[in-house]
Amino acid sequence: MYEQLFSKPKMTEKLLGKPPFRYLHDIFTATMAKTGFGEGLFQGEDLNSKSFEDKNSKLDFLMKIITLT
């Protein structure tokens, strides 16, 4: 279903089986850019996957997405 929204990141069974944080971040930001879903939830550095350096900041990002959905 998501492959129709954007070309990157690619949806592969391997990555979807145990997705790394950056992959999840890229999927969410691409979905947000294409559909507007979750717009305003993240701003500034939160839109850059490289700004998440520690486990807690990554968990906070993921919890916001879980709460949204």
The gap from C-alpha 61 to its chain's centroid, in whole angstroms, comes to: 9
CA–CA separation, 34 and 25 (whole Å): 14
The reported pLDDT for the residue numbered 19 is 92
Tell me which residue has tokens 């700004």. 51
CA–CA separation, 22 and 48 (whole Å): 9
The reported pLDDT for the residue numbered 15 is 86
Number of domains forming the structure of the chain: 1
Given pLDDT bands bounded at 50, 70 and 90, which one contains residue 5? Answer: confident
Domain that holds residue 17: 2-68
Radius of gyration of the chain (CA): 12
Residues with Cβ within 8 Å of residue 26, at least 6 apart in sequence: 8, 9, 49
Q: What is the CATH number of the domain that holds 14?
A: 1.10.418.50
Q: What is the pTM of this model?
A: 0.84
| 11-64 tens-digit pLDDT | 888 988 999 999 999 989 988 988 999 998 988 899 998 899 999 999 999 999
